Structure 1
Amino acid sequence: MNKQMRNAEATKERILEAAMTEFSTYGIAGARVERIAKTAGCNKNLIYIYFESKETLFTTVLSNYLVPAYDDLVFTPDDLGGYAARVFDFSMANPALMRLLAWFSLEQKIDSPTERGSSHAAKVSALTQAQEAGRVGTALPPEFLLTIVMTLATAWTAANPFGLSLEPDAVKNHDLLKERIASVVRLISSASDLCGCGTPPAPQTSDSV
Structure 2
Amino acid sequence: MAPFTPPAADAVRARLLLAARDEFAASGLVGGKVERIAAAASSNKAQVFHYFGSKEGLFDALVEQTVAETFEQVPLDTDDLPGFAGRLHDAWAERPWAQRLTTWHRLDRASAVPLDAVLERQAAMVAEVERAQRAGVLPRSYRPAVLLGLVLHLAAFWSEAGPESEALTRAVVPARRRQVVVDAVTSLVGG
TM-score under structure 1 normalisation? Answer: 0.81
One-letter amino acid matched to 1:177: R
In the alignment, is the contact (CA less than 8 A) between 2:158 and 2:177 conserved in 1?
A: no
Q: Which runs of 5+ in 1 are unaligned?
A: 192-209
CA separation of 1:122 and 1:160: change in aligned 2, threshold 3 A: farther
SS in 2 for 1:140: coil
1:156 — aligned with what? 158
1:136 — aligned with what? 138
CA separation of 1:165 and 1:103: change in aligned 2, threshold 3 A: farther
Q: Distance in 2 between matches of 1:19 and 1:54?
A: 9
Aligned positions of 1:1-209 closer than 5 A: 3-4=5-6, 6-107=7-108, 108-157=110-159, 159-161=160-162, 163-164=165-166, 166-170=168-172, 173-190=173-190
Q: Distance in 2 between matches of 1:64 and 1:141?
A: 27
Aligned-pair identity (%) = 29
CA separation of 1:67 and 1:85: change in aligned 2, threshold 3 A: same
Q: Which runs of 5+ in 2 are unaligned?
A: none
Superposed CA RMSD: 2.0
Deviation >4 Å, runs of 4+ = none
In the alignment, is the contact (CA less than 8 A) between 1:18 and 1:36 conserved in 2?
A: yes
Q: How many residues are matched? A: 186
One-letter amino acid matched to 1:150: L
